[in-house]
Chain A
Amino acid sequence: MELTGAEIFVRCLQEEGVDLIFGYPGGAVLHIYDALYKQDKVAHILVRHEQGAIHAAEGYAKSTDKPGVALVTSGPGATNAITGIADAYMDSVPLVVFTGQVPTSLIGNDAFQEVDTVGITRPCVKHNFLVKDVKDLATTIKKAFYVATSGRPGPVVVDIPKDVTAHKCEFSYPKTIRMRSYNPTVKGHTGQIKKAIDLILEARQPVIYTGGGVILGRAAKSLTDFTRLLGYPITNTLMGLGGYPATDKQFIGMLGMHGTYEANMSMHHADLVIAIGARFDDRVTGNIEKFCPYAKIVHVDVDPASISKNVKVDVPIVGQVDSVLKAMIKEIKADPRKPDATALKAWWKQIDEWRAMDCLKFDRNSELIKPQFVIETLWKLTKGDAFVTSDVGQHQMWAAQFYKFDKPNRWINSGGLGTMGFGLPSAMGVQLAHPDATVACITGEASIQMCIQELSTCLQYHLPIKVVNLNNRYMGMVRQWQEFFYQGRYAMSYMDALPDFMALAQAYGHVGMRIEKPGDVEGAIKEALKLKDRLVFMDFITDQSENVYPMIPAGAGQNEMILV
């Protein structure tokens, strides 16, 4: 039987097992919306702005092992989605984004709501497609899901002109897909693994440094086995938090610009760095000239282009991290050599001295609410088991430092692109994927306003997100840099004329709270957590002058941290 392109689209999603998509209708996708309306297998979540749709799909994908799916219209629908798509590209989030396009006969004519979506998105997608013939639609969708979810994941855009959704053809969904130009590596090279094992077992001051690749590659269990087998210290990047239990004694905290003193000092003094699913981002390395001066580097990554991009490595291993870790564990167990216990003991003694600096300490007797205290309290009251999304800035760093993630996929943030506005919509995706879980969005009064319209979506779909707004009346991270590096000239970083967030939340149909005293923090969070079926917006009025410490200033090395 012949189906229309719109019907084929819906059937393809069903075949892919997509239960939920995020979107916003418009002229070019009306046939598709009509087809969605006539079925009930694929639910549609109506956002209030296309950026929100993409971030929600990211939250869904990052907290599950499934790709996120979004559907937007042509022109402004597509351009509004770009920030989210670029965000997903930087953080390697598997997404399939469908964009409507003007009919093929009008492409290139500057038609109403026309943009060159394939052209605009090209630099910020893993791949994109323009479907010009309904006969190619099913195969293209199959390819899109395959490319988005395999190898190093990423967003794939499929641009579908309106006439293609009306034309008819026979439908059959390919069971498998083979692309001669795309064959991601799975297994690591045995010879390289052996070389790595030699370095690993000979190291005297080793550090395991892991990133988002461990989360995306579902390798947290293997990483934990590997790390415990060796007894080596482990640090996670911002994107890698939860890849190893943060409350474990071998965990030395996050590394990088706002990482712990012990993590950065360990990296600086290490004689071996075992990098797994991490990409030596500038926020991790600090000044690249001063990065890990004494270390040999082993780098495991599924993306060959990530290897030796910023830092020249000694033993590269291309492969899926889980597969490589399992192979390494097997090799280590079979190897008669063991890590040098005496050297390791001395190394841990040194690390414990750095740890004793207590670099994350803050004033616990302040009369003002300290943002760190709010997050620490949230962590305690949720027993470390909530899903936590964040926006971008100081609150994001505090969340990363003070919420100790013991499990993967629980920490959902915008690491690479640093997109303010990410927190609330991504929390929607997380909550929809995990309806019974506690989902907290840690944000600030500047970030939250970038996608605050999604409070309306939260009401429509009854999403009981707990919004933790750390309100310091400043774009905090901008203010901090202005204090440190611009002699306190706070150019345009003061958030004047703020709304009454409590009233605003209430106007959107939610519960609003304002918390102004440290003594009220615990009670407020407890009360919010009790309201299991309501979104609660907690507006914490925090200490304006608080800075994120420790810090590696731009251009400095990892051993040159500002502590307080």
Chain B
Amino acid sequence: MRHIIAILMENESGALSRVAGLFSARGYNIESLTVAPTDDPTLSRLTLVTSGSDEIVEQIVKQLNKLIDVVKLMDLTEYRHIEREMMMAKLRVGGDDREEVKRLTDIFRGRIIDVSPATYVIELTGDSSKLDAFIEALRPFEVLEVVRSGVMGIARGDVALKI
């Protein structure tokens, strides 16, 4: 099963490699990993998407907690939560296709954030399946590149990951 684990870590050099190294050393799977400092600059927040049986995910959580730099973590999938991912896609589009792509972008509530005579850059935010669906919808067009942020998540309501 897919799990989204949010981790607060000391914002120190090498902290990220401890997490990445743990996953490779123990053969766990990482689907995506995002990291950035929080409102408290001494803390980084990582969001990690992984999958595995309950036993494996339990081990992953324990092993992550065991890392000395990990301050606190939370398996968001155990709570009502919101997940978002951002994507930027660059397309080569001309002629009538420009109008069609613009319309598709509006339907998905994306935005065109860069325009050249032959290209668009589209920004889209949503959960991962929405992004997947948009990429699917773009198939008829010439997609030059796609960049995705990886998943970020946060719990709904009063539940908060903080120290």
**B57-70 interface code vs A (CB 8 A; 1 in, 0 out):** 01100110110111
From B17-25, B103-111, B126-134, B145-153, the one touching the partner chain is: B17-25
Q: A312 to B69: give the CA distance in the assembly, Å.
A: 28
Chain A, 111-136, CB within 8 A of any chain B CB: 118-119, 122-123, 126-127, 130
Is the beta-carbon distance between A305 and B55 smaller than 8 angstroms?
no
Most buried by B among A126, A127, A305: A305
Q: A107 to B66: give the CA distance in the assembly, Å.
A: 29
Name the B residues within 8 Å of A312 (CB-CB).
55
Beta-carbon nearest neighbor of A303 in chain B: B66
Please name 16 pairs of A and B residues whose Cβ atoms are closer than 8 Å in the assembled complex, sorted by A: A119-B17, A122-B18, A122-B21, A123-B21, A127-B69, A130-B13, A130-B14, A147-B68, A180-B71, A180-B163, A181-B71, A303-B66, A305-B62, A305-B63, A308-B55, A309-B59
Instruction: Kindly provide the distance from the CB of B48 to the nearest chain A CB, expressed in whole angstroms.
Output: 17
Known: A123-B25, A308-B55, A308-B58. A181 touches B18 (CB 8 A): no
Instruction: Kindly provide the distance from the CB of B9 to the nearest chain A CB, expressed in whole angstroms.
Output: 8
Q: A308 to B70: give the CA distance in the assembly, Å.
A: 21
Is the beta-carbon distance between A181 and B69 smaller than 8 angstroms?
yes
A contacts with B, residue count (CB < 8 A): 19
Instruction: Kindly provide the distance from the CB of A517 to the nearest chain B CB, expressed in whole angstroms.
Output: 50
Name the B residues within 8 Å of A127 (CB-CB).
68-69
Is the beta-carbon distance between A181 and B10 smaller than 8 angstroms?
yes
Q: A303 to B69: give the CA distance in the assembly, Å.
A: 16
A to B contact number (C-beta, < 8 Å): 40
Q: Knowing that A180-B163, A312-B55 are A-B contacts, what are 13 other residue pairs whose CB atoms are under 8 Å apart, sorted by A's residue number? A: A118-B14, A122-B14, A122-B21, A123-B21, A127-B68, A180-B71, A181-B10, A181-B69, A181-B71, A182-B68, A303-B66, A308-B55, A309-B59
Most buried by A among B25, B62, B63: B62
Instruction: Kindly provide the distance from the CB of B37 to the nearest chain A CB, expressed in whole angstroms.
Output: 15
**B64-93 interface code vs A (CB 8 A; 1 in, 0 out):** 011011110000000000000000000000
A498 contacts the other chain (CB 8 A): no
Beta-carbon nearest neighbor of B24 in chain A: A123
From B10, B18, B66, give the contact of A305 (CB < 8 A).
B66
Q: A139 to B109: give the CA distance in the assembly, Å.
A: 51
Name the A residues within 8 Å of B163 (CB-CB).
180
Name the B residues within 8 Å of A416 (CB-CB).
none
Q: A514 to B126: give the CA distance in the assembly, Å.
A: 77
A179 contacts the other chain (CB 8 A): yes
Instruction: Kindly provide the distance from the CB of B163 to the nearest chain A CB, expressed in whole angstroms.
Output: 6
A103 contacts the other chain (CB 8 A): no
Interface residues of A (CB under 8 A from B): 118-119, 122-123, 126-127, 130, 147, 179-182, 303-305, 307-309, 312
Known: A119-B17, A123-B21. A181 touches B68 (CB 8 A): yes
Name the A residues within 8 Å of B17 (CB-CB).
119, 122
Name the B residues within 8 Å of A126 (CB-CB).
68
Beta-carbon nearest neighbor of B22 in chain A: A123
Instruction: Kindly provide the distance from the CB of A72 to the nearest chain B CB, expressed in whole angstroms.
Output: 20
Most buried by B among A130, A147, A180, A181: A181
Name the B residues within 8 Å of A179 (CB-CB).
68
Instruction: Kindly provide the distance from the CB of B118 to the nearest chain A CB, expressed in whole angstroms.
Output: 41
Beta-carbon nearest neighbor of A179 in chain B: B68
**B109-152 interface code vs A (CB 8 A; 1 in, 0 out):** 00000000000000000000000000000000000000000000
Q: A147 to B66: give the CA distance in the assembly, Å.
A: 12
Q: A303 to B62: give the CA distance in the assembly, Å.
A: 9
Beta-carbon nearest neighbor of A180 in chain B: B71
Instruction: Kindly provide the distance from the CB of A126 to the nearest chain B CB, expressed in whole angstroms.
Output: 7
From A119, A181, A309, give the contact of B70 (CB < 8 A).
A181
Q: A123 to B18: give the CA distance in the assembly, Å.
A: 8
Is the beta-carbon distance between A305 and B59 smaller than 8 angstroms?
yes
Instruction: Kindly provide the distance from the CB of A257 to the nearest chain B CB, expressed in whole angstroms.
Output: 24
Instruction: Kindly provide the distance from the CB of A178 to the nearest chain B CB, expressed in whole angstroms.
Output: 13
Name the A residues within 8 Å of B65 (CB-CB).
304-305
Chain B, 24-69, CB within 8 A of any chain A CB: 25, 55, 58-59, 62-63, 65-66, 68-69
Q: A307 to B62: give the CA distance in the assembly, Å.
A: 9
Q: A312 to B59: give the CA distance in the assembly, Å.
A: 11
Q: A308 to B54: give the CA distance in the assembly, Å.
A: 11
Name the B residues within 8 Å of A180 (CB-CB).
71, 163
Beta-carbon nearest neighbor of B14 in chain A: A118
Name the B residues within 8 Å of A122 (CB-CB).
14, 17-18, 21
Is the beta-carbon distance between A304 and B70 smaller than 8 angstroms?
no
Q: A309 to B63: give the CA distance in the assembly, Å.
A: 10
Q: A130 to B25: give the CA distance in the assembly, Å.
A: 21
Name the B residues within 8 Å of A119 (CB-CB).
17
Instruction: Kindly provide the distance from the CB of A8 to the nearest chain B CB, expressed in whole angstroms.
Output: 21
Q: A79 to B18: give the CA distance in the assembly, Å.
A: 19
Instruction: Kindly provide the distance from the CB of B13 to the nearest chain A CB, expressed in whole angstroms.
Output: 8
Q: A180 to B13: give the CA distance in the assembly, Å.
A: 17
Beta-carbon nearest neighbor of B66 in chain A: A305
Q: A123 to B25: give the CA distance in the assembly, Å.
A: 7
Name the A residues within 8 Å of B58 (CB-CB).
308
Name the A residues within 8 Å of B9 (CB-CB).
181
Beta-carbon nearest neighbor of B71 in chain A: A181
Beta-carbon nearest neighbor of A132 in chain B: B13
Q: A339 to B65: give the CA distance in the assembly, Å.
A: 38
Name the A residues within 8 Å of B13 (CB-CB).
130
The 9 closest A-B pairs by CB, nearest first: A305-B62, A127-B68, A181-B71, A123-B25, A305-B66, A182-B68, A304-B62, A305-B63, A122-B21
Q: A122 to B70: give the CA distance in the assembly, Å.
A: 15
Name the A residues within 8 Å of B63 (CB-CB).
305
Beta-carbon nearest neighbor of B64 in chain A: A305
Instruction: Kindly provide the distance from the CB of A315 to the nearest chain B CB, expressed in whole angstroms.
Output: 16
Q: A552 to B9: give the CA distance in the assembly, Å.
A: 44
Instruction: Kindly provide the distance from the CB of B15 to the nearest chain A CB, expressed in whole angstroms.
Output: 10
Q: A492 to B68: give the CA distance in the assembly, Å.
A: 43
Q: A303 to B59: give the CA distance in the assembly, Å.
A: 12
Q: A147 to B10: give the CA distance in the assembly, Å.
A: 16
